[in-house]
Chains A and B, each alone.
Chain A
Amino acid sequence: MDTTNLIFAGVGGQGVLLIAELTAQTAVRAGHDVKQTEVHGVSQRGGSVESHVRFGDANAVHSPLVRAGQADVVVGLEKLEGLRYADFLNPVTGSLLVNDHEIIPGSVANAAEKYPHHAMDFLRHKGLRVVELPASRCAKDLGDGRMANVIMVGALSALLALPEEDWLETLKERIPAKHREANLRAFQAGRRLSTDFGSPFGLSGMQPVAGGHRDSGPLSPAKGDNHD
């Protein structure tokens, strides 16, 4: 297989690194060679956070960094951050999967006025495939707005050729027991959202999940749990 190139982006505290790790671990479980990269440090204090994940055949993945113009999917947990990494997308086959959510940079003067609210239309106009998902709202409906990251990774999972069992195993292993159920629900909600909002949608050379459930309906609220 060709190497799959993913970028995860968001704001410090949104759980970008967690979902990048979930994806990388799932790819390992599915038998791939995997590289992942992130930068720790000051950026975690409410700044931009990004992580790259690449997976493919054994010993075929060298650089942990995705090259510009080669990302298959950029997962944005926030619109401005999705925009920031959009130029990494493969302009023909890449997709921006973005949480329809805005966080105004706190320490930038007049940030509210300067914020590019039209960013997604701009990118569509540039010919990019953009899929906006109401992950934060959906997470709130499920009882905790902080699970937006897991909803987004659920949505991503529907686009990648990684077996669902592997995702679920990784989630079970990685999420502490007391938050596990809620997060598994969030993951499944994300998978459904992806097929509802995104079709026709799948990566070249990969199989999108067959059919897709159209029965997402009103999401059942879950007990309020937060994970750190």
Chain B
Amino acid sequence: MTKQLLSGNEAIARGAWEAGVKFASGYPGTPSTEILENLAKYPEVDAQWSANEKVAFEEGMGAAIGGLRVLVTMKMVGLNVAADPFMVFPYAGTNGGFVLISADDPGMHSSQNEQDNRYLALMAKVPVLEPSDAQECKDYIEFGLELSEAHETPVMMRTTTRLAHHKGLVALGDRVEVSRKEFTPDVKRFSVPIYRKLRRPEVEKRLERLREFAESTPINRVEWRASQPGAAAAKGSVGVVTSGIAYQYVREVMPAASVFRLGLTHPLPSRSLIEFCAAHETVYVVEEGEAFIESHLAALGATNMIGKSAFGVIGEYSPDRIAAAIAATPTAPMQDFSKEIAMLPRPPMFCVGCGHRTVFDVLRQLKVTVAGDIGCYTMGALPPYEAEHTTFCMGASIGTAFGLERAGHERTVAIIGDSTFVHAGIPALIDAVFNGSGLTLVILDNSTTGMTGQQPHPGAGTTLKGKPAPKLDLEAMVRAAGVKQVQIVDTWQRKEVGRAIRAALLQGEPSVVIARGPCMRLPEMKLSERAASPYVVDESLCTKCDACFKVWCPAITRTAEGFPIIDTLDCTACTVCAQVCPTEAIGPVDSRQ
């Protein structure tokens, strides 16, 4: 059997392909994005980016009811958006296997909050799988699809950032073709609230069956080491209950401890867990996120657990953190140099040539309040711009600006990316117009979902599989919402951008500026593709006035003599530095030679 080094996300994609998945949908979001990007490479799988997670979920739900094996992927906050169908799908139950990947992000590496989605699954009464390495990421997909079909239930697999983005060896298999299951339209099962009451008891009966399943499934297993099954707890005996990647940390730090490794964390195997607790004097519960397993054990009456009080609820776990919590001596003394030397931070920043820069430069100068949104442009909140004053969740800019305006803060600008606008901004704009706002909205239209790595969306003109698709007309969309003042500007023309935003602010009615210019990371923006040349500084014309440094372009640094110098390998020929140069010392390399 061949083994390959795969990331958790690559393994999930592989698992879906091997298990005969035919339809897959999702919306990008770290740490889930690479699953669909990898799955799209298989011709047998119809994989797509949807407009948002709710739509992705509903499309997957339809495909599964229609009889296909389905995978739906999203980051954890995506499930908030898709919570509506998620809560009700289990009532009807599925036909073809349906696995939802919910990618949690303990530590908020790339997220606006920390959220343990096992609680959403608890609420939806949906079983939860938690793999703990790349191999299990692959294997649990098939397992989950079979579980889903056997119990006619959607299944959620919870991954975390570390699991999704770590790599390990995975044994590969072949694809099994699974034929479409028969779908019989059934009003009583799939439709209308009065019939839903009839389905309600089914959900509980299913959970009961799943509880029994949890006691016997091999993915919940005890690795007995120092302690013995059935024996009374010996003095000083320590057992561990754990799930997910934390299992690996436990194995690393406590190699001699008996470990109850849970692969199915909802519903939990109560009887087995109680037996395990009884066999140890102390039981550590090591789970990333909330005290999901621990509080279940507490409800069962167990009193000998140590969990969140020692390991904490905030942030990501690591072997060091677990070792420190159980006071196992680290093998080498920890040294911490940060107290003795300036460990300068290195925050992320706009890429070379990013079209968002000009907009934030204007907003900074205008000293307006900016209700921001989620995307690369969230970095407008960081120095040197500090021109984004609120950021909550996708699409929130418009509603927040509306509310700020109602509270008397008239000079407020909402700012939103094109992908985010399509995802959740459109209803908010319709509402703002409807309720009589005088809002100014800037849509940063870079033809892609930049933050998560350039995924196409309905305004981009291609699908995940690279097929041409109708391109959503943002201007027509905005006008259809009732906005009359719409300006479209080239985002790299800094004066035009400034004029447009200033003009918009003077309107007493809803006004939209679409700042347009593709993300510089898109392949078509390569210099060679655009037949453009990098820019250079002519030192004979440069007066070292430093205006170009105020563009904050990472490609511009200083020579030993204090002149600006542009890294010609990095330069994207966005021209903004040349526009600010008062002496025309900056221009394309060809014209200067």
Q: Which residues of B contact A25 (CB under 8 A)?
A: 5
Cα distance, A218 to B30, chains bound together (Å): 45
Report whether B382 and A126 are in contact in the complex, using a CB–CB cutoff of 8 Å: no
Cα distance, A80 to B383, chains bound together (Å): 20
Cα distance, A109 to B249, chains bound together (Å): 38
Report whether B346 and A33 are in contact in the complex, using a CB–CB cutoff of 8 Å: no
User: What per-residue 1/0 map shows which CB atoms of A46-61 lie under 8 Å from chain B?
Assistant: 1110000000000000
Which of A37-45, A154-162, A182-190, A192-200 sits within the interface? A37-45
The A-contacting residues of B in range 332-365, CB under 8 angstroms, are: 332-337, 340-351
Report whether A69 and B332 are in contact in the complex, using a CB–CB cutoff of 8 Å: yes
Cα distance, A90 to B165, chains bound together (Å): 25
Tell me whether chain B's interface is mostly helix, strand or loop, or mixed: loop
Which of B166-174, B279-287, B440-448 sits within the interface? B166-174
Report whether A40 and B451 are in contact in the complex, using a CB–CB cutoff of 8 Å: no
B337 touches which one: A39, A65, A86, A144 (CB < 8 A)? A86
B248 within 8 A of A: yes
Q: Which residues of A contact B109 (CB under 8 A)?
A: 39, 41-43
B552 within 8 A of A: yes
Report whether B162 and A65 are in contact in the complex, using a CB–CB cutoff of 8 Å: yes
Cα distance, A93 to B420, chains bound together (Å): 49
Which of B263-271, B315-323, B498-506 sits within the interface? B315-323
A69 touches which one: B110, B167, B334, B344 (CB < 8 A)? B334
B340 to chain A, nearest CB (A): 7
By beta carbon, the residue of chain A nearest B556 is A106
By beta carbon, the residue of chain A nearest B335 is A87
A67 within 8 A of B: yes
Cα distance, A21 to B320, chains bound together (Å): 24
Q: Which residues of A contact B376 (CB under 8 A)?
A: 45
User: What per-residue 1/0 map shows which CB atoms of A103-145 lie under 8 Å from chain B?
Assistant: 0111111010011100100110010000000000000000011
Q: Which residues of B contact A123 (CB under 8 A)?
A: 337
B561 to chain A, nearest CB (A): 15
Report whether A34 and B169 are in contact in the complex, using a CB–CB cutoff of 8 Å: yes
Report whether A34 and B346 are in contact in the complex, using a CB–CB cutoff of 8 Å: no
A35 to chain B, nearest CB (A): 5
B335 touches which one: A44, A116, A126 (CB < 8 A)? A126
B461 within 8 A of A: no
Cα distance, A3 to B161, chains bound together (Å): 24
B379 within 8 A of A: yes
The A-contacting residues of B in range 521-579, CB under 8 angstroms, are: 552, 554, 557, 569
A30 within 8 A of B: no
Given contacts A36-B166, A63-B319, A91-B332, contact A109 B344 (CB under 8 A): no
Report whether A46 and B554 are in contact in the complex, using a CB–CB cutoff of 8 Å: yes
B229 within 8 A of A: no
Report whether A107 and B552 are in contact in the complex, using a CB–CB cutoff of 8 Å: yes
Report whether A83 and B349 are in contact in the complex, using a CB–CB cutoff of 8 Å: no
Classify chain B's interface size.
35 or more
Report whether B331 and A69 are in contact in the complex, using a CB–CB cutoff of 8 Å: yes
The A-contacting residues of B in range 160-205, CB under 8 angstroms, are: 161-162, 165-169
By beta carbon, the residue of chain B nearest A44 is B348
A42, A48, A114, A146: most-surrounded residue (chain B CB, <10 A):
A42
Report whether A80 and B348 are in contact in the complex, using a CB–CB cutoff of 8 Å: no
Q: Which residues of B contact A28 (CB under 8 A)?
A: 3, 5, 169
A41 to chain B, nearest CB (A): 3
Q: Which residues of B contact A146 (CB under 8 A)?
A: 569
Given contacts A67-B319, A105-B346, A109-B383, contact A116 B341 (CB under 8 A): yes
A108, A126, A145: most-surrounded residue (chain B CB, <10 A):
A108
A68 within 8 A of B: yes
Cα distance, A166 to B346, chains bound together (Å): 35
B374 to chain A, nearest CB (A): 11
Cα distance, A69 to B345, chains bound together (Å): 22
A209 to chain B, nearest CB (A): 24
B251 within 8 A of A: yes
Report whether A65 and B341 are in contact in the complex, using a CB–CB cutoff of 8 Å: no
A226 within 8 A of B: yes
Cα distance, A122 to B338, chains bound together (Å): 12
A152 within 8 A of B: no
B520 to chain A, nearest CB (A): 12
B427 within 8 A of A: no
B5 touches which one: A34, A43, A48, A126 (CB < 8 A)? A34
Q: Which residues of A contact B333 (CB under 8 A)?
A: 69, 91
Report whether A34 and B110 are in contact in the complex, using a CB–CB cutoff of 8 Å: no
Cα distance, A86 to B347, chains bound together (Å): 19
Cα distance, A34 to B5, chains bound together (Å): 8
Report whether B383 and A107 are in contact in the complex, using a CB–CB cutoff of 8 Å: yes
Given contacts A28-B5, A35-B166, A107-B552, contact A80 B346 (CB under 8 A): yes
Cα distance, A46 to B251, chains bound together (Å): 35
A64 touches which one: B33, B167, B345, B348 (CB < 8 A)? B167
By beta carbon, the residue of chain A nearest B249 is A63
Give 29 CB contacts A-B under 8 Å. Answer: A34-B5, A38-B165, A39-B165, A40-B33, A40-B165, A44-B348, A45-B350, A45-B376, A46-B554, A62-B252, A64-B248, A67-B252, A67-B320, A67-B323, A67-B331, A68-B335, A69-B331, A69-B333, A70-B332, A86-B337, A87-B336, A91-B333, A91-B335, A105-B345, A105-B346, A108-B345, A108-B383, A115-B342, A144-B569
The 9 lowest CB-CB distance pairs between A and B, nearest first, are A69-B332, A41-B110, A45-B348, A47-B348, A64-B166, A37-B166, A62-B251, A36-B167, A62-B248
Interface residues of B (CB under 8 A from A): 3, 5, 30-31, 33-34, 109-110, 161-162, 165-169, 245, 248-249, 251-252, 318-320, 323, 330-337, 340-351, 376, 379, 382-384, 451-453, 552, 554, 557, 569
Extra contacts besides A87-B336, A109-B384 (17): CB < 8 Å: A11-B346, A25-B5, A34-B168, A36-B166, A38-B165, A40-B30, A42-B348, A46-B554, A47-B346, A63-B248, A65-B320, A67-B323, A68-B335, A69-B333, A83-B343, A87-B335, A91-B335
